[in-house]
A and B are shown apart, each in its own frame.
Chain A
Amino acid sequence: MELQIEDSILVRDYISGDEKSLEILINRHNQRVTSFIYSKVLDRDITEDIFQDTFIKVIKTLKKGTYSEEGKFLPWVMRIAHNLIIDHFRKNKRMPMFEGSDDFNIFSVIGDSKLNAEKQIIQDQITSDLRHLIEELPDDQKEVLIMRIYKDMSFKEISENTGVSINTALGRMRYALINLRKIIDKHNIVLTNQ
């Protein structure tokens, strides 16, 4: 009972402008309010957030002069905390949160296959360089390589379109790749995106 009276005096003093009273009130009820929140949410960071939001509401209400529960400060604070805990669970129900642990990281399962901006620029550069290199090949090899790689044609289709045998088309493709490697090695060109 004595504690409640002290609280009410501190509240009155705080409303009158004594900031020190708030510090006493927060420190006095810190453990009870925090433990209450923690017992519901079981997360240290969320507990800190809800504790902070609770006292922000307390401060605003007191400063606005709309506090009317003289003598029942702690139950009032606990009720605010309780409502914020409910809000927290409602929000989480709409948007469930998954936190990984040291053993399991959710991002090892859910990945973004898109390249980031830097890697995309590198990829575009490689594609562009490769096209220039292909231009350096003899026409017959270039023709087969473009049909196979860029047009995704089979060697049977290539042989039909170019009027050569499948073996010749295969040979031209092989020489095209060998020659490309030679040009790349000769000019120390790096075509990787790691």
Chain B
Amino acid sequence: MEKIYSKHEKDYRIVKACAETVKFLLDYSKALHVVKHKELTFENILN
């Protein structure tokens, strides 16, 4: 029985990142501008 029922059932529950995190990433993506000049790459966060 011990082998059948895992003690760590909650360890495998399905979770999703919250809406705020997703929104942050989308906003970050919109704000991030990558500028390349010759061999240099510049990252700009534009609000």
Which residues of A are at the interface with B, using a C-beta cutoff of 8 A? Answer: 19, 22-23, 26-27, 30-31, 33-35, 38-39, 42, 44, 47-48, 51-52, 55-56, 59-60, 63-65
Contacts and interface: CB of A to CB of B under 8 A. Distances in A.
Contacts of B43: 60
Given A60-B32, A63-B34, A34 B26 contact: no
B34 A39 contact: no
B22 A27 contact: yes
Interface residues of B, number: 21
Contacts of B18: 48
B34 A42 contact: no
A59 B17 contact: no
B22 A64 contact: no
Given A48-B21, A52-B24, A22 B15 contact: no
Nearest to A38: B15
Interface string B28-40: 1110111000000
Contacts, number: 60
A52 B26 contact: no
A112 B22 CA distance: 40
B28 A31 contact: no
Contact of B15 (A23, A47, A52, A64): A47
B29 A64 contact: no
Given A19-B30, A38-B15, 8 more contacts: A22-B29, A27-B22, A31-B15, A34-B17, A52-B21, A52-B24, A59-B28, A59-B29
Nearest to A52: B21
B16 A34 contact: yes
B15 A56 contact: no
A24 to B, nearest CB: 11
A38 B28 CA distance: 23
